[in-house]
Amino acid sequence: MTKQRLVMIGNGMAGLRTIEEILDRDADKYDITIIGKEQYPNYNRIMLSNILQNKMTVEETIMNDYDWYEAHHIRLIVGDPVVEVQRKEKQVITQSGIHVAYDVCIFATGSRAFVLPIPGSTLPSVIGWRTIDDTEKMIEIAQSKKQAIVIGGGLLGLECARGLLDQGMEVTVIHLAEWLMEMQLDKKAGDLLKADLEAQGMKFKMQASTTEILGDEDVTGIVLADGSTLDADLVVMAVGIRPYIQVAEQCGLVVNRGIQVNGYMQTSDDAIYAVGECAEHQGQVYGLVAPLYEQGKVLADYLTDRETVAYQGSTTFTSLKVSGCDLYSAGYIKEDDDVHGIEIFDSQSNHYKKIFIKDNVIVGAVLYGDIDDGSRFFNMMKKAEVLDDYTMVSLLHKGGETGGLDIADMADDATICGCNGVDKATIVNAITSNGLTSVDEVTKTTKAGNSCGKCKGQIAQILEHTLGDDFVAAQPTGICACTDLTRDQIVTQIRAKGLKTSAAVREQLQFKDEFGCPKCRPAINYYLNMIYPAEHQDEIESRFANERYHANIQNDGTFSVIPQMRGGVTDAEQLIRLGEVAQKYNVPLVKVTGSQRIGLYGVKKESLPKVWEDLEMRSASAYGKKTRSVKSCVGKEFCRFGTQFTTQLGIRLEKTFEYIDTPHKFKMGVSGCPRSCVESGVKDFGVIGVENGFQIYIGGNGGTDVVIGQHLTTVETEDEVIKLCGAYMQYYRETAIYAERTAPWLQRIGFEQVQAVLLDEARQNELFEKIMEAKHAVSQEPWSTIVNASKESAIFKVEEVKV
């Protein structure tokens, strides 16, 4: 069968996504030619600000390299823009005179930067920022010039201004409106943004306009409407974009602001389509990537003869790529007779949230400082979810919810990557079906995260939630993508600088993301807890969901509740209470766990506070990176082979070290004889009773990769076991990388080194004293408050925890 000839005019993000979607559907249908104006393959235009801010190189922004075009048998013409389309002959003509015939033609010409038509606007150092070449020109100018003016305080202008600051220039932003980003932010959020940017060194002239750019051969300054002047070596126009429609207009297509298209992206010519920033659909032109990709999917369906729903328009969102200024805006953000706003503001941390409601449905949201709820609000907007089940006082949490939405709680159809329209279920299915283990692999397979990149933290959380302990986050050079610093460098600097909060660590150590990511937030919180057990206030919001809820999320979205049962020992009263609670809350599964406890499985999230209250039992640390359990046999008290009272020792170990944070989960086993019924040899700390005392084994792992523990020593008394265990645990706490189990830690540090430290009496005493300090501090934490001293039980109250 002869292939149809498809010619794409434009080599940008919207056009190439359309081609990718076509190839995914039917790789053999078209003979494809792509013609681009720039001298590059397809690159991520969103990331130009990261090049300017020294976060990325040009090469790192390339989305489809030359090998990709060749591998898909696509003819690529670069640096040679189309200047004419002859509709009757069905051919396009490039600037150099190349003629290319088509059966199907797609305009994906994008847009151009709007340059104010004022005197001086054609001087060499006046730039309308839009391309790699524009970016490289600004970087070159910054090497010898120091005064920059950015005209326009919108998204693009602020990202440009931040980049020029990073290039060492002094930057003033000229903005016509009363506050920054007035199309995406309300006044409160705009003022917060301005204050933060001023603290970074940016200057502003608000409600000001430029009437002239001064200079003969090049820029020397600008003149404002009030007659005042400002010195300048570089002027960047960031006052908006205009769809590039000249060629379409010349060939007789119907155009308005953009090339007019129907719901299948078809123009007034049946053989010609338009997609992306150059297209106008129902009077709307989009400049954000998410709608352009949605258009591309519809067009790909249509051109490969698949049934598809016509494009209906898009709900858009905006985020800013400037370190230290996290903001999120989506939908309609103005109050009027029909739209009302609800807002909260934390003046201490400058966190601001406002939602806009019409007919009991969210139609818009503005978040500043803390943007974790952005995707949740966006999903509620897209679904037009009625707010009957939500409480306004906590800014839209469902009744019984503990706080912000965790990945584990998100619905399968919740959008994770707004730019590419990828939902949670798609990512989970890709992980499980293809054995994906890294964010990069997920991005390559699903395209989630390959545009603005803001969702990569959530992708990492989905990987961790889906893979559990098998997930190992990518570590570039530092502990995460936010920093190039290693664990040892961070811990050293925390001690040297006396840093006491996670925010101070990220600020003082110049993390790329002021608020951190799912990889570094819990790690830094742990390091601070370890270094300052009595001084650092545990940052609950940095802990993983299971630790915050004291319950483990299951694959159906319900939770398992596992009360403490030291040494697997219980009594009639506890058993009755467990049975009553299981019956009262219709718990579908009551099971003895592998750690000798009784678990209630299938508990609904909203029932967690009441379940714990009714149990009147302390929560076992079955969910966190800390002492998980001490498994023991009945020992010499009942067993004819037993040599020691192992249940007694197991309970002592658990009571002594419970709730102390460790780099990863820490499991112990106490066996009464070498038969080792509780598998002490594959525990992080294993004890085997023998006639003359206790054999101690360390660094065992009974997980996916079984590691046999190494024999450390043999001691005579229970007290010696307790002390040695404490010293071992503290040394592990002080030297391990967060999320590193004892088995790889022991291999990395070296068994001989660990043995030498632990068997040195002075060092052993010192380490034990430190872990006792940690135990004293952890006993003061609010989540372990004793509520029934006579029964030594505690209730974990979910509603007390900020998530």
pLDDT, average across residues 187-197: 92
pLDDT, average across residues 238-244: 91
Q: Dump strand ranges (E) for 369-514.
A: 390-391, 397-398, 415-417, 422-423
In this structure, of 290-299, 657-666, 776-785, the range with the lowest mean pLDDT score is: 776-785
pLDDT, average across residues 632-654: 86
Indicate whether 73 pLDDT > 60. yes
Question: Strands 272-274 and 317-319, how do they pair?
Answer: unpaired
Kindly report the backbone phi and psi dihedral angles of residue 424, in degrees, each rounded to the nearest multiple of 5, phi listed first.
-60, -45
Check if the beta carbon of residue 26 is closer than 8 Å to that of residue 54: no
User: What is the per-residue pLDDT for 624?
Assistant: 75
SS3 161: helix
pLDDT, average across residues 22-44: 94
Non-local (6+) Cβ contacts of 133 within 8 A are 38
Check if the beta carbon of residue 530 is closer than 8 Å to that of residue 774: yes
Q: What is the pLDDT of residues 151-191, one digit of tens each?
A: 999 988 999 999 999 899 999 999 999 999 998 899 999 99
Indicate whether 75 pLDDT > 90. yes
Structure token digits, residue 482: 């936010």
User: What is the per-residue pLDDT for 514?
Assistant: 72
Model confidence band, residue 409 (pLDDT cutoffs 50, 70, 90): low
User: What is the per-residue pLDDT for 324?
Assistant: 64
User: What is the per-residue pLDDT for 790?
Assistant: 25
User: What is the per-residue pLDDT for 188?
Assistant: 92
pLDDT, average across residues 712-723: 94
Q: How far apart are CA 138 and CA 132, in angstroms?
A: 10
- Side chain identity at residue 198, one-letter code: E
User: What is the per-residue pLDDT for 392?
Assistant: 59
Nearest to 314 by CA among 333, 282, 291: 291
Model confidence band, residue 46 (pLDDT cutoffs 50, 70, 90): confident
Q: Where is mean pLDDT largest: 114-118, 250-254, 442-446, 473-477?
A: 250-254
* Cβ count near 696 (within 10 Å): 23
Ligand-binding site membership of 639 (annotated): yes
Q: What is the pLDDT of residues 735-772, one digit of tens each?
A: 999 888 899 999 989 999 999 999 999 999 999 999 99
User: What is the per-residue pLDDT for 489?
Assistant: 86
Q: How far apart are CA 521 and CA 519, in angstroms?
A: 6
Ligand-binding site membership of 160 (annotated): no
User: What is the per-residue pLDDT for 604?
Assistant: 85
Model confidence band, residue 545 (pLDDT cutoffs 50, 70, 90): low
Indicate whether 252 pLDDT > 70. yes
User: What is the per-residue pLDDT for 290?
Assistant: 82
Indicate whether 660 pLDDT > 80. yes
Whose structure tokens read 């302990």? 469
pLDDT, average across residues 524-528: 91
Indicate whether 788 pLDDT > 60. no
Q: What is the pLDDT of residues 489-510, one digit of tens each?
A: 898 889 888 899 988 898 888 8
Q: What is the mean pLDDT of the chain?
A: 85
Model confidence band, residue 404 (pLDDT cutoffs 50, 70, 90): very low
Model confidence band, residue 783 (pLDDT cutoffs 50, 70, 90): very low
Give, as one character, the DSSP assignment of residue 792.
Answer: T
Ligand-binding site membership of 452 (annotated): no
Whose structure tokens read 């089940």? 389
Check if the beta carbon of residue 600 is closer than 8 Å to that of residue 560: yes
In this structure, of 137-141, 145-149, 532-536, 787-791, the range with the lowest mean pLDDT score is: 787-791
Taken in order of first residue, the domains within the chain and their CATH numbers are 4-112+243-303 (3.50.50.60), 126-239 (3.50.50.60), 487-543 (no CATH), 547-623 (3.90.480.10), 627-779 (3.30.413.10)
Non-local (6+) Cβ contacts of 45 within 8 A are 12, 13, 130, 131
Q: What is the pLDDT of residues 362-403, one digit of tens each?
A: 999 999 887 878 888 888 888 888 887 666 555 555 444 444
User: What is the per-residue pLDDT for 394?
Assistant: 53
Ligand-binding site membership of 633 (annotated): yes
Non-local (6+) Cβ contacts of 296 within 8 A are 14, 15, 17, 18, 21, 275, 276
Q: What is the pLDDT of residues 263-287, one digit of tens each?
A: 999 999 999 999 999 999 999 998 8
Structure token digits, residue 448: 């989630």
